[in-house]
């Protein structure tokens, strides 16, 4: 079965814009509003972060978003319900969970897949679950039943032999990490970015979306020339951090920012 | 998850625990580390180097001491102490740090980083940083910086940068996360000296191997002195490095009972203890699958212990495995009992033990009674308590 994400890449001209928000920051209700604003601003696929107590792959901006989310009582039921209402309001936008593995494992892989599927999610990005782990294999083999993609990360340090092996249990797209380190804004990206992305695309036969550190329309424009998608997290989350206490103003700023990115991209 | 699935991915697993669950950006470095370690671990020259620094810098072999006074006072089994507190920098942490620093030098890394709770691992890292000429950065939770100020000052004196971490509970868990983030950013130039038998493969194996000197020496020393092996071996368990190092000397001796002692903290409710093995569930934290204190949503629950070195909500994956096979028994001791054992050992034996080790003493006291005379208990005295003196004084007042 072709997933929603695959269809989206096939049906969209040029590079997709994939924005990210952390669910529950500053509360679950407002998260829906941010999602609507971002999609209105031109987000093609939406990444939803599930707050985790120990986000080792995230920089300070997303860490702070998670801490704010935890000021409200956390429950996965609330996560799924919020996700469902975002999906209902934006049925043609594929949703992807960005989550650490422990909450999935704790709930049970099958149960989590089923709940995520009911909530309208069509992909997972799990930064601490390498493709060559037993659980990743199990997850991948079960996910296709729900048309949920398992999206893996490739970094500037990932060896070619590893990329080749990853092919076997990857779907949807590849998240190409543009710089070393954790999420957060950066000025420079690795030099051979274009070449690497072309290589990964050719070897794996999947669309490549680039992210980690992208924040300005200029950067998005440049990277969208050779990537199939541009992922932006921290600088969107920063807008929520700065303006999240004011629902209208924040939603407006998010929409304007996303429009500026979308129109800069090919 | 079935066990055969783990068998297929054998490398780095202890039963179903262990493995490598780190962000992709670290994989390359972890693989390099695995390759380098495979090469060095049986390399004569490297082993000689490690031995050299063990002898000439750490002061190994460390003493195996018969604790006459404790034996008399406790009125049960004979009590023996492996004196890791007499090592340079005052704890077992230096064993692993020397080994990993030599690996870092071999790999041509210029910078080393570490996480620390009690500060003993940070201190050991700052020490080898000074001696071998590495740029050194140590991450330490703000709460621990306060309760273990002396160690932070010592680290700075040796030229290390100490970075306070204010996120979350501001203790060892957050310091570990921050060190992993630093490593992700600087992975080409930097080696991360993980301080306990935790983290993604190959760290738990590397740390265990460098610490196994504790158990190997103990076994030899005990045999030489008594012509037999001890009946029971006791060690405290935070991440579990001193314990696994000690246990490894005896793991094949089925008659020797092995006991790991965790921190029972204030009570058994979430957030008030660090008894990961008795009260945790399987899960994933800091790059490894192990037992973890977590809530009903799979969020990690902060750990508590009166000793900064034990308050970690996870445990080394090999311990999780040893618990599941029953080879090692795990118990826990609460804050108050650890504090009174701390004082008891000071007053009776004239040794100030680390608060971490005080947990092992408290458990051993009961065990000594249960076992009765003529039996022998060996306790790993993992470190000295200078670092804890001020905190104990603050908690107990004039004693
Ligand atoms: C003296 C001492 N003992 C024990 C520990 C606990 O660590 P591990 O369980 O890795 O031995 C520490 C940690 O800082 C320590 O300083």
E strands of B153-194, at which residues?
161-165, 190-192
Whether chain A has a CB inside 8 Å of the CB on B194: the answer is no
Pairing of strands B281-285, B287-292: antiparallel
Whether chain B has a CB inside 8 Å of the CB on A56: the answer is yes
| Residue B9: pLDDT over 90 | no
pLDDT grade, residue B3 (50/70/90)?
low
Q: Are A23 and A50 in contact (CB under 8 A)?
A: yes
Q: How far apart are the CA of B313 and the centre of ligand 1, in A?
A: 14
CA gap B261, B240 in Å, rounded: 9
Q: How far apart are the CA of B342 and the centre of ligand 1, in A?
A: 15
For residue B39, what pLDDT is reported? Answer: 97
For residue A27, what pLDDT is reported? Answer: 97
pLDDT grade, residue B11 (50/70/90)?
confident
Whether chain B has a CB inside 8 Å of the CB on A152: the answer is yes
Collect all residues with Cβ–Cβ distance below 8 Å to A242 and sequence separation of at least 6.
none
Q: How far apart are the CA of B304 and the centre of ligand 1, in A?
A: 14
Kindly report the nearest CA distance between residue B144 and chain A, in angstroms. 18
For the segment A221-242, what is each residue's pLDDT rounded down to a tens digit? 999 999 999 999 999 999 999 9
Which residues approach ligand 1 with their CB closer than 6 A? B 91, 117-118, 120-121, 196, 236-243, 309-310, 354, 356-357, 382-383
Instruction: Provide the ipTM.
Output: 0.95
For residue B2, what pLDDT is reported? Answer: 61
Collect all residues with Cβ–Cβ distance below 8 Å to A126 and sequence separation of at least 6.
A98, A99, A100, A101, A104, A136, A139, A150
For residue B121, which atom of ligand 1 is closest to its CA? Answer: 14
For the segment B100-141, what is each residue's pLDDT rounded down to a tens digit? 999 999 999 999 999 999 899 999 999 999 999 999 999 999
Share of chain B above pLDDT 70, in %: 99
| Residue B1: pLDDT over 60 | no
For the segment B178-204, what is each residue's pLDDT rounded down to a tens digit? 999 999 889 889 999 999 999 999 999
For residue B273, what pLDDT is reported? Answer: 97
pTM: 0.96
Q: Are B318 and B197 in contact (CB under 8 A)?
A: yes
For the segment A86-133, what is each residue's pLDDT rounded down to a tens digit? 999 999 999 999 999 999 999 999 999 999 999 999 999 999 999 999
For the segment B246-287, what is each residue's pLDDT rounded down to a tens digit? 999 999 999 999 999 999 999 999 999 999 999 999 999 999
For residue A191, what pLDDT is reported? Answer: 73
Interface touch B180/A102, C-beta < 8 Å? no
Given a cut of 70, the residues of chain A with pLDDT beneath it are: 185, 187
Nearest to B184 among A102, A103, A182 (CB): A182
- HEC string of chain A equals CCCHHHHHHHHCCCCEEEEEEECCCCCHHHHHHHHHHHHHCCCCCEEEECCCCCCCCCCHHHHHHHHHHCCCCCCHHHHHHHHHHHHHHCCCCCEEEECCHHHHHHHCHHHHHHHHHHHCEEEEECCCCCCCCHHHHHHHHHHHHHCCEEECEECCCCCHHHHHHHHHHCCCCEEEECCCCCCCCCCCCCCCHHHHHHHHHHHHCCCEEEECCCCCHHHHHHHHCCCCEEEECHHHHHHHHHHCCCHHHHHHHHHHHHHHHHHHCC
């Amino acid at each position: 079965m072709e997933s929603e994400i695959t269809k989206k890449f096939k049906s969209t001209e040029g590079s997709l814009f994939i924005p990210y928000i952390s669910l529950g920051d500053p509360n679950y209700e407002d998260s829906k509003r941010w999602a609507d604003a971002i999609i209105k601003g031109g987000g093609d696929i939406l990444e939803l972060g599930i707050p985790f107590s120990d986000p080792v792959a995230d920089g300070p901006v997303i860490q702070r978003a998670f801490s704010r989310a935890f000021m409200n009582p956390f429950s996965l039921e609330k996560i799924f319900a919020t996700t469902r209402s975002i999906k209902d309001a934006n049925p043609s936008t594929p949703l992807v969970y960005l989550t650490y593995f422990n909450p999935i494992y704790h709930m049970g892989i099958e149960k989590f897949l089923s709940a995520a599927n009911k909530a309208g999610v069509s992909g997972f990005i799990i930064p601490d679950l390498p493709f060559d782990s037993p659980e990743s294999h199990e997850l991948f083999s079960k996910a296709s039943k729900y048309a949920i993609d398992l999206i893996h990360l490739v970094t500037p340090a990932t060896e070619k032999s590893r990329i080749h092996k990853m092919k076997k249990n990857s779907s949807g797209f590849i998240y190409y990490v543009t710089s070393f380190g954790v999420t957060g804004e950066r000025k420079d990206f690795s030099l051979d970015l274009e070449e690497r992305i072309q290589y990964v695309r050719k070897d794996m036969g999947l669309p490549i979306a680039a992210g980690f550190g992208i924040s300005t329309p200029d950067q998005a424009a440049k990277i969208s020339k050779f990537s199939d998608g541009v992922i932006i997290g921290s600088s969107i989350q920063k807008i929520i951090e700065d303006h999240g206490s004011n629902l209208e103003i924040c939603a407006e700023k998010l929409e304007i920012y996303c429009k500026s990115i979308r129109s800069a991209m090919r | 998850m079935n066990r055969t699935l783990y068998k297929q991915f054998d490398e780095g697993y202890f039963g179903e625990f262990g493995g490598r669950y780190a962000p992709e950006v670290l994989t390359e470095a972890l693989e390099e580390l695995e390759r380098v370690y495979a090469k060095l671990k049986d390399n004569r020259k490297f082993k000689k180097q490690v031995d050299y620094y063990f002898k000439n810098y750490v002061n190994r072999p460390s003493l195996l001491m018969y604790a006459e006074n404790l034996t008399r006072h406790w009125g049960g089994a004979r009590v023996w102490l492996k004196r890791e507190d007499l090592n340079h920098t005052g704890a077992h942490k230096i064993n692993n740090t020397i080994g990993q620093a030599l690996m870092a030098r071999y790999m041509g890394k210029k910078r080393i980083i570490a996480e620390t709770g009690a500060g003993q691992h940070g201190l050991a890292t700052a020490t080898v940083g000074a001696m071998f000429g590495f740029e050194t950065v140590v991450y330490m939770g703000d709460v621990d910086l306060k309760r273990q100020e002396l160690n932070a000052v010592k680290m700075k004196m040796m030229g290390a940068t100490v970075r306070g971490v204010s996120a979350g509970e501001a203790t060892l868990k957050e310091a570990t996360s921050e060190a992993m983030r630093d490593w992700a950013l600087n992975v080409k130039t930097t080696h991360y000296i993980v301080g306990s038998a935790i983290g993604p493969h190959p760290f738990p194996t590397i740390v265990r191997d460098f610490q196994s000197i504790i158990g190997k020496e103990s076994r030899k020393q005990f045999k030489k002195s008594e012509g037999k092996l001890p009946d029971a071996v006791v060690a405290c368990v935070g991440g579990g490095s001193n314990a696994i190092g000690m246990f490894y000397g005896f793991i094949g001796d089925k008659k020797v009972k092995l006991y790991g002692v965790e921190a029972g903290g204030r009570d058994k409710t979430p957030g008030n203890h660090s008894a990961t093995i008795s009260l945790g569930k399987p899960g994933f934290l800091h790059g490894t699958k192990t037992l973890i204190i977590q809530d009903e949503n799979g969020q990690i629950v902060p750990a508590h212990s009166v000793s900064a070195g034990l308050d970690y909500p996870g445990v080394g994956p090999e311990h999780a495995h040893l618990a599941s096979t029953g080879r090692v028994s795990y118990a826990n001791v609460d804050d108050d009992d650890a504090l009174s054992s701390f004082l008891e050992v000071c007053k009776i034996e004239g040794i100030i033990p680390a608060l971490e080790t005080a947990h092992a003493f408290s458990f051993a006291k009961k065990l000594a009674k249960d076992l009765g005379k003529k039996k022998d208990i060996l306790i790993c005295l993992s470190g000295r308590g200078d670092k804890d003196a001020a905190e104990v004084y603050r908690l107990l007042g004039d004693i």
